[in-house]
């Protein structure tokens, strides 16, 4: 029996026990209940009710933790631990509602197909994990790393203007190429940076950062390109 089935069974049992406990409490509210309960039976009923409360606590906690774990799995990339596209877009929209100063960095690993072809897909997965780890080490406390698909990552930078985002992107670029990876040698990436203009949609903002990323690719890769203001 898997964890979800065990939790469902425990919840069902707790509901039955709780129903029985509620029935007992209702019966005990009657004025004449003392006439029908010897002290020994009363003690057993009190023990039963205490066990019922303890069971509820034991069941609710793992069920809540299991629900949180399922939500995390739904919003995170299992390979790199970064937020997945769905989770990243949700957080992007939330940030737009809460803050006015935001910047976005799009990141694409250079020649990733060549890495897969030359070293194999297992090595490619290792590169993705290492890239995510190196990007994460350059992040500040409020920054968010997302893997949007394939070899494409993104950084959401709260309270950061275009100049600050450029500096963060450059730190990340240098961190990726500074030390060769054991599985694939030197790995580089291209970066596109865009500051939110305060009114555009998340999709439009992401598109501007993507255009800046493609500009970095066209200009030779392994560099950071800035997006201009929306026109």
Residues forming the active site: 151
Q: Tell me the angle at which helices 202-218 and 85-98 cross, rounded to the nearest 10 degrees.
A: 120
Question: Environment class of residue 113 by beta-carbon count within 10 Å: exposed (0-12), middle (13-18) or buried (19+)?
Answer: exposed
Range 181-195 burial, b when 16+ CB lie within 10 A, else e: bebbeebebbbbbbb
In this structure, what token pair is assigned to residue 73? 């799995």
- Supply angle C-alpha 37, 41, 45, rounded to 5: 105
Mention every residue, 6+ apart, whose C-beta is less than 8 A from residue 132: 80, 81, 82, 145, 147, 153
Q: What share of the chain is helix, strand, coil (3-state, %, to 5)?
A: 60, 15, 25
């Amino acid at each position: 029996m898997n964890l979800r089935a065990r939790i469902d069974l425990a919840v069902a049992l707790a509901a039955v026990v709780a129903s029985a406990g509620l029935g007992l409490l209702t019966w005990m509210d009657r004025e004449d209940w003392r006439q029908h309960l010897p002290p020994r039976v009363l003690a057993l009923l009190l023990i039963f009710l205490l066990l019922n409360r303890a069971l509820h606590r034991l069941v609710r906690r793992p069920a809540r933790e299991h629900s949180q774990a399922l939500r995390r799995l739904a919003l995170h990339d299992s390979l790199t631990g970064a937020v997945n596209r769905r989770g990243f877009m949700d957080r992007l929209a939330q940030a737009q509602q809460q803050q006015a100063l935001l910047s976005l960095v799009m990141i694409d690993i250079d020649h990733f197909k060549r890495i897969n072809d030359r070293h194999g897909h297992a090595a490619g997965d290792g590169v993705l994990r290492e890239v995510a780890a190196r990007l994460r080490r350059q992040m500040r406390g409020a920054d968010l790393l997302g893997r949007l698909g394939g070899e494409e990552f993104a950084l959401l930078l709260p309270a950061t203007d275009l100049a600050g985002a450029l500096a963060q992107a450059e730190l990340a670029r240098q961190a990726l190429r500074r030390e060769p990876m054991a599985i694939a040698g030197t790995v580089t990436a291209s970066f596109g940076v865009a500051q939110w203009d305060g009114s555009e949609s998340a999709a439009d903002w992401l598109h501007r950062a993507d255009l800046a990323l493609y500009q970095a690719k066209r200009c030779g890769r392994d560099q950071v390109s800035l997006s201009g203001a929306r026109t």
